[in-house]
Structure 1
């Protein structure tokens, strides 16, 4: 397997552009049947609106891209059917929350979520609330998802450098969030937040300090980023 690239990023220039996704239009009936079956298996899943990416490039440190709005049902069908439209990318922003002692917070998605059992940094598929006047705000998405999943807000960390990890059909844009407390303290606070929720998105969190803390549950692009950060 070819190692994934971890590329430093200085700036994000992400535009929301209207687009009628041919895949979603042409396969509407099949998509609706597929999503109904998914909801029977995962009752908490609902058909909200999400953003997917069409074009992207990293030029002179700036990621420039166009995103468009579609429904979650179409996104899930595209994913579950093996990504038949190769012109589309599942792009998202992740917060790599690092403790004062160098450990990173990782979370395992809970049973009942669309990605149950997978381990990665807190994140979510971008949605229309992340767009303002035609600009998609991935920095705001990172802050929102971190708070929703762990209860940890921007007052608890410094927002640092961005990195891009292309792993088609995924494009991970990862921002380092530097905490002022050790990683174990971060995890304890996240666990308290999860325990207070009726339906937490995460089943567990833990601190990763080095390659020995990575197992097969950690997604490949997260492993690539961490190995780069630990060099």
Structure 2
């Protein structure tokens, strides 16, 4: 498959009511799947999350490149089953925001997902699936606010201490839509890493198992990186806009 990377000027995310037929029609199968996943990982929590039922790239009247998304509320167990059943409903997307925290010497901070995570062991920018707390005035979904919260909760870093790059980078990888905002910190890679690892050591139940700094293209071969992370890092570390990946 091909992963596409696009530069955007802004996001326009709205909360909508949506009847998800997948969740209704396969409710029994979803329930059994959740029971099995909970048996293997009792820390999983069936909270509410937001998924997208519409995603559209557009040029606005001011010539800005905009990603418009309509997001609806569902349960995490429904989302997890949809993902692990192989995305049977391709009209729905997992849209989320990610902070690309970069040190002053050009390295990027990645978190290693902890054992309680549904993607334990994988490497990502600190992030999470948006939830109803990200719905703000006027029915807007604040993905920048979601990014700030997840960065603080997972790493202890304060986004206010960084310089945000203008615009966003969206990575489309089948049903994943990762919206990345680069945050430039005035700290060395070693200082960022030391601070995040100290934060994790203080937490009684940290979300991350560890943190790592990635600075060169040789790091892209790490098998713990999902396709959308490889695509973004390849581009920012000197790769192409479209990265051909194996179907696996």
Q: Name the TM tier (shorter chain).
A: over 0.9
More moved, 81-90 vs 29-38: 29-38
Aligned to 1:147: 152
Aligned to 1:7: 6
Counterpart of 1:211 (choices 202, 205, 217) is: 217
CA distance in 2, matches of 1:224, 1:136: 25
TM-score (norm 1): 0.96
Offset at 1:120?
A: 1.0
Counterpart of 2:124 (choices 116, 120, 130) is: 120
Offset at 1:210?
A: 0.8
1:85 paired with 2:89, answer yes
CA distance in 1, matches of 2:184, 2:37: 37
For structure 2, the residue ranges without an aligned partner over 5 or more in a row are: 60-64, 239-248
Aligned to 1:189: 195
4+ runs deviating over 6 angstroms: none
1:178 paired with 2:184, answer yes
Counterpart of 1:202 (choices 189, 199, 208) is: 208
CA distance in 2, matches of 1:56, 1:180: 34
CA deviations on 1:111-152 (whole Å, 9 max, x unpaired) are: 121110111100000100011131000000110000000000
1:30 paired with 2:12, answer no
CA deviations on 1:140-176 (whole Å, 9 max, x unpaired) are: 0110000000000123211223100100111110000
CA distance in 2, matches of 1:32, 1:199: 27
Offset at 1:67?
A: 0.6
Aligned to 1:52: 51
More moved, 150-159 vs 80-89: 150-159
Aligned to 1:102: 106
Aligned to 1:156: 161
For structure 1, the residue ranges without an aligned partner over 5 or more in a row are: none
What is the root-mean-square deviation in Å for CA atoms of aligned residues? 1.1
3-state secondary structure, aligned to 1:6: strand
More moved, 142-151 vs 161-170: 161-170
Aligned to 2:76: 72
CA distance in 1, matches of 2:118, 2:71: 21
3-state secondary structure, aligned to 2:4: coil
More moved, 8-17 vs 209-218: 209-218
